[in-house]
Amino acid sequence: MEDAYGSLPSSHLLGSVPAVIPPNEKPENKEGATASMQMFPPGNGGYRAPGSSNVGDEQPATSWAGVFSISSYTPYFNVDTDVVVDRLMSSVYPLRGDFFSKIGANPDLYAPVWISTTLVFMLAALGNCASYLMKKKDPSHQWLFDVAYFNWSAGVVYGYVLIVPAASYFLLQYLGSNGSLIRLWCLWGYSLFIFIPASLLLVVPVEVFRWVIILLAGSASAGFISLNLRTYTEGHDLMVWVVSVFLLQFFLAILLKVLFFA
């Protein structure tokens, strides 16, 4: 009986002393793994929710297998309204501050997806509306409701916001500059926001006014991209690439005007 009582745990008793953990042993971490917001491809196995166990201190190795896991992208959609609005204001006014320092280690894909999708539908709808108003103003102007506007807008917007940042990422890797694909997608996605209010103004059936609006929007969007990339690539001779990106973004603005508001 004495041996049985002696084997009972006593750590909960008053005055007991907790067991000492040797220095070379670490307690098991019960907190969820912190998502690596700047790592792409995502970790193999995807995002682990808080509360899941993490064996040791090792972070999950990155693997292209994580690209096909929806849970891998969960952290990039975990933003609130205030954060998104602040970033949208920075995209409209590029001199407000460094966008990459603003997003820090928490870039998001929520706003880029929302901005791109909204722009696709607005270009398709307002493009037909602008053409109709031009017909009302000038009877010689031909008008026909064109459903293909949606296909064109989806191809141009989604193709641009996916391919150009990805190409820039691989170019930076080739040139030896560390880059994050998620951060570049975030930057390019926010750069398209200014075209949403601009498309509302492009409905006005005055050609000179339309060109002024699209040139201003294109300059602001291209300036937002180039100013932040110049800061992002300090220490590397990539000015030619930054200028090329500026011209490409400006060309996108002119392309939107020609395709949907001619």
Entry pTM: 0.73
CA distances from 159 to 93, 105, 156, 162 (A): 25, 26, 5, 5
Cβ atoms of 66 and 46 within 8 Å: the answer is yes
What local confidence, expressed as pLDDT, does residue 237 receive?
A: 75
Residue 8: inside a domain: no
Domain containing 164: what range? 109-261
Structure tokens at 189: 């996605």
Residue 122: inside a domain: yes
Cβ atoms of 166 and 186 within 8 Å: the answer is no
Residue 100: inside a domain: no
What local confidence, expressed as pLDDT, does residue 30 receive?
A: 38
Of 253, 183, 179, nearest in space to 222 by CA: 253
Give me the tens of pLDDT residue by residue for the chain, a chain 262 residues long: 445 445 555 444 444 444 555 555 544 443 333 334 445 555 433 344 444 444 333 334 455 556 666 777 778 888 888 989 989 998 888 777 788 888 887 889 999 999 999 999 999 999 989 888 877 777 776 777 778 889 999 999 999 999 999 999 998 888 877 778 889 999 999 999 999 999 999 999 889 999 999 999 999 999 999 988 887 777 667 888 889 999 999 999 999 999 999 8
CA geometry: angle at 67 spanning 168 and 178, to 5°?
35
User: Looking at the 3D structure of the chain, how many domains does it have?
Assistant: 1
Cite the DSSP H helix spans in the chain.
2-6, 81-92, 99-103, 110-137, 148-174, 181-191, 195-201, 207-232, 239-260
Residue 76: inside a domain: no
Residue 225: inside a domain: yes
Residue 217: inside a domain: yes
CA distances from 8 to 1, 12, 18, 19, 20 (A): 12, 11, 15, 15, 18
Q: What is the distance between the alpha carbons of residues 16 and 38, in angstroms, rounded to a whole number?
A: 46
Residue 70: inside a domain: no
What local confidence, expressed as pLDDT, does residue 94 receive?
A: 73
What local confidence, expressed as pLDDT, does residue 185 receive?
A: 93
Q: In angstroms, how far is CA 40 from the centroid of its own chain?
A: 13
Residue 219: inside a domain: yes
